Structure 1
Amino acid sequence: MSLRADLSIIADHVRSGSRVLDVGCSDGALMAELRDRKGVDARGIEIDGSDVTAALARGLSVIQGDADTDLADYPDASFDYAILSQTLQTTRRPDRVLDQLLRVGSKAFVSFPNFAHWRVRASLLWGGRMPVTRSLPIAWYETPNIHHLTIDDFRAHVRERDIKVEGSWFLSGEKLTGEAVANFRAEHAVFLLSR
């Protein structure tokens, strides 16, 4: 099974033998990859019960929980990495969730869809309606995304909060795109953060 492009980037950059908390782990595909390929001790939190069941069926340690409330239950620095892939924009308080990630993990990977991608901009400009694109495939009234953000929004947020960016990757489809024009050209972003 092939990982989604942002998950592949994360998997490639997690150190072997690390302790990882995957928040919003879905069916556990990334956790299974990290366990099998890198000997990682991976734990997960997922809000969707059917995804929790699928992850457990893979032999993974996953609990049903909510990133907005349940990260507070973990001790400080209990993981080498906390991962939040394609979930930040679905949380009620992304700023607090990000703080919690960096509290429980020495480092945090965060990936999200870029709402400033040129297709999104074109859809709003020419169609006048909330976009439905490859990276944002669900109509406005049923999307789990409640906090759309752009790469530049995220960069400003981490800069204001003195969060260190240790690495960043920008994807257009499955391919990496340059950092200089990422806010316009990238559909998804992946950041590696630390305090």
Structure 2
Amino acid sequence: MNDQALLGLRPDLRIIADHVAAGSRALDIGCGDGALMAALRDHAGVDARGIEIDATNVASAVARGLSVVQGDADVDLVGYPSGAFDYAILSQTLQTTRAPDKVLDELLRIGAKAFVSFPNFAYWRVRASLLWGGRMPVTRTLPVAWYATPNIHHLTIDDFRAFLKERGIVTEGAWFLNGDRLTSEWAANFRAEHAVFLIRR
């Protein structure tokens, strides 16, 4: 996808958009207002569908002419047929689900491959906030106080890698972000604020 098509997308969404094959079928779970779906549709000819829990976001996505339904990743993915999509996408949503292990199973049942992005709770600024301040961190990527955050599962890059290994899930690609910039895999669990993984069975 050309650089112009990626303008305005969140950094993790830019990575995903750049690695979804043109003309493929994709389901974006927790698609927000449909920004990624619109970019995939308009610039890569992707047959993009979405599911989103927030009614206002659903209305915004539908207003863009996107095929989005209101639904909850924890309960509604079972209604999708196996192998219906080339890609299932879960961006910045895994840590908000009640049963992330089951949601990941559904992603890999529905899609041949899955993109998963999440904030890294082992990032050094998060660690420092807990160590020196003794309080749950509020950062640029975790901007909401503990009592209002939708994040109910606090995972790290190393947690996710271990989860994949235990279940025999293959990592096809992994990207690590510090702010808006890619950072190397070296010490990513300490140095990266977010991670993006491309996985398959």
Give the TM-score normalised by structure 1: 0.99
Q: Given the alignment, which residue of 23, 32, 35 partners 1:29?
A: 35
- Taking the aligned partners of 2:77 and 2:185, their CA distance within structure 1 comes to 31
Where does the alignment leave 5 or more consecutive residues of structure 2 unmatched? 1-6
Partner in structure 2 of residue 192 of structure 1: 198
- Taking the aligned partners of 2:141 and 2:37, their CA distance within structure 1 comes to 22
Q: Map Cα deviations across residues 34-77 of structure 1 (whole Å, 9 max, x no partner).
A: 00010000000000000000000000000000000100000000
Give the TM-score normalised by structure 2: 0.96
Q: CA RMSD in A?
A: 0.5
The 5 A counterparts of 1:38-187 are: 38-187=44-193
Once superposed, which parts of structure 1, at least 4 consecutive aligned residues long, lie more than 2 Å away? Answer: none
- Taking the aligned partners of 2:181 and 2:133, their CA distance within structure 1 comes to 27
What amino acid is aligned across from residue 153 of structure 1 in structure 2?
D
Instruction: Kindly state the Cα deviation for residue 9 of structure 1 after the two structures are TM-superposed.
Output: 0.2
Q: Count residues in correspondence.
A: 195
SS across alignment from 2:95: helix
Instruction: Kindly state the Cα deviation for residue 180 of structure 1 after the two structures are TM-superposed.
Output: 1.7
> Percent identity between the aligned chains?
75
Where does the alignment leave 5 or more consecutive residues of structure 1 unmatched? none
